[in-house]
Amino acid sequence: MILLFVEFLLSNFEKNDTGYYGEAQLEHCSRGLLNIQCYVHKVSLFDCHYPQEKMQQSNFLLFVVLTVLCVRSAHTCMCDFTHPQNNFCSADFVIKATIVKEELKFGDESMDIPFPLQKNYTVQFKKRDIFKGSSLLGSSDTLVIKTSGTPWNCGETFTLNKEYVISGFVSDGEFFTNNCQWNPEYLTLEPHQRRGIRYMYEQGCNCTIHHCRGENCDFPQSLNPDQTCIWPGSYNTNDCYAKYGFCLPDIFGVCYWKQNRMLGGCLQREGGVLP
């Protein structure tokens, strides 16, 4: 029960831009863990928060262990830094769909877990908005997509009645996604990204986009340079290359960044260049 309560505390926190929890959140988590000590030792909250030295010593180990668990849980979900084209190409399905229903799945009553273990989203879509995986989707215009119920297990969250591009994978005939997939709200996409999901990204699925920072780019030996586009710059999933870039093969099968006016203009404003 203690570990479950720790996870419940974490479910109410928001990550910062790096994907980790900030100092304020961890401080709040620590205060919550102190309250857990009160519960374990059946001590009033006043006495617990203003403890005597003896109680501090007896509870120190418990507090340290729980704090470590809190920090560890906060870092559970970590995603690779991936270009939208790579996400498109690695997904089993990609659709534009409207969220019409959310169903929260809790454990049975004996587990007494205060947060959902799974979220099931019913989505509605049109046939023309199936960008990948049409053979997997059948003839229906609705679909149930499953995701973890908690953010630290990479559970995705959608808003009812909004339209998203949803990508994911299929396992045993069931459809899944998580927040490591590319699931943007459709209205937030740039025109080039909309072109990408409709036909451009698929043309580049034999290419790989490799993100690299600094002058000394760490180029993995496992990648073929002729089939790879280098994605330079900061860790920003909405930079020039993500918004306007297509990595496509030329007539010889060598992959390159396809130049276009929007990409060139964005790089000029940001001080970047095509690699």
- Residue 49 in any domain: the answer is yes
| Lowest model confidence (mean pLDDT) among 161-165, 185-189, 203-207, 266-270 | 266-270
- Band of pLDDT at residue 172, cut at 50, 70 and 90: very high
In this predicted model, what pLDDT tens digit does every residue of 110-137 receive, in sequence order? 666 777 889 999 999 999 999 999 999 9
Which pLDDT belongs to residue 81? 84
- Residue 196 in any domain: the answer is no
- Band of pLDDT at residue 107, cut at 50, 70 and 90: confident
- Residue 197 in any domain: the answer is no
Which pLDDT belongs to residue 37? 44
In this predicted model, what pLDDT tens digit does every residue of 30-59 receive, in sequence order? 444 444 444 434 444 344 444 444 445 445
Which pLDDT belongs to residue 143? 97
pLDDT averaged over the chain?
78
Paired strand residues for 167: 94
As to burial, measured by CB atoms within 10 angstroms (0-12 exposed, 13-18 middle, 19+ buried), residue 92 is: middle
Check whether residue 115 and residue 58 sit in a common domain: no
Evaluate if residue 4 carries a pLDDT over 50. no
Q: For 165, phi and psi rounded to 5 degrees?
A: -90, 120
Check whether residue 139 and residue 113 sit in a common domain: yes
Contact 164/97 with Cβ under 8 angstroms? Answer: yes
Query: Which of 74, 98, 124 is the last residue before a domain boundary?
Result: 74
Check whether residue 64 and residue 94 sit in a common domain: no
- Residue 211 in any domain: the answer is yes
Which residues sit in the known binding site?
Answer: 77
Check whether residue 113 and residue 182 sit in a common domain: yes
Evaluate if residue 156 carries a pLDDT over 60. yes
- Band of pLDDT at residue 16, cut at 50, 70 and 90: very low
- Residue 194 in any domain: the answer is no
Q: Say how many Å lie between the first and final Cα of the chain, rounded.
A: 53
DSSP string, the chain: -HHHHHHHHHTT----TTSS--HHHHHHHHHHHHHHHHHHHT--HHHHHS--HHHHHHHHHHHHHHHHHHHHHHT--------HHHHHHH-SEEEEEEEEEEEEEPPPTTT--SS-SEEEEEEE--GGGEEE-HHHHTT-SEEEEEEESSGGGT-----TT-EEEEEEEEETTEEE--TTS---BGGG--HHHHHIIIIIHHHTTTSEEEEE-SSS----TTS-GGGEEEEES-S-TTSHHHHH--EEE-TTS-EEEPP-HHHHHHHHHHT----
Check whether residue 94 and residue 172 sit in a common domain: yes
Distance CA 275, CA 267 (A): 11
Which pLDDT belongs to residue 210? 92
Which residues sit in the known binding site for Zn(2+)?
Answer: 77
Average pLDDT estimate for 242-255: 96
CATH number where 175 lies: 2.40.50.120
Residues 6+ apart with CB under 8 A from 158: 99, 102, 121, 164, 166, 183
Query: Which of 74, 107, 127 is the last residue before a domain boundary?
Result: 74
Check whether residue 175 and residue 215 sit in a common domain: no
Evaluate if residue 240 carries a pLDDT over 60. yes
In this predicted model, what pLDDT tens digit does every residue of 65-105 receive, in sequence order? 344 344 444 446 888 889 999 999 999 999 999 999 999 98
How far lies 101's CA from each of 5, 123, 178, in Å? Answer: 28, 7, 17
Distance CA 264, CA 181 (A): 27
Query: Which of 133, 155, 188 is the last residue before a domain boundary?
Result: 188
Check whether residue 173 and residue 126 sit in a common domain: yes
Which pLDDT belongs to residue 258? 95
Check whether residue 39 and residue 68 sit in a common domain: yes
- Residue 245 in any domain: the answer is yes
**Residues of the domain holding 101:** 84-188
pTM: 0.71
Check whether residue 130 and residue 62 sit in a common domain: no
The count of structural domains within the chain is 3
Pick the residue with more confidence: 270 or 236?
270
Evaluate if residue 154 carries a pLDDT over 90. yes
Check whether residue 113 and residue 162 sit in a common domain: yes
Residues 6+ apart with CB under 8 A from 112: 1, 4
Check whether residue 100 and residue 177 sit in a common domain: yes
Check whether residue 43 and residue 64 sit in a common domain: yes
Which pLDDT belongs to residue 152? 86
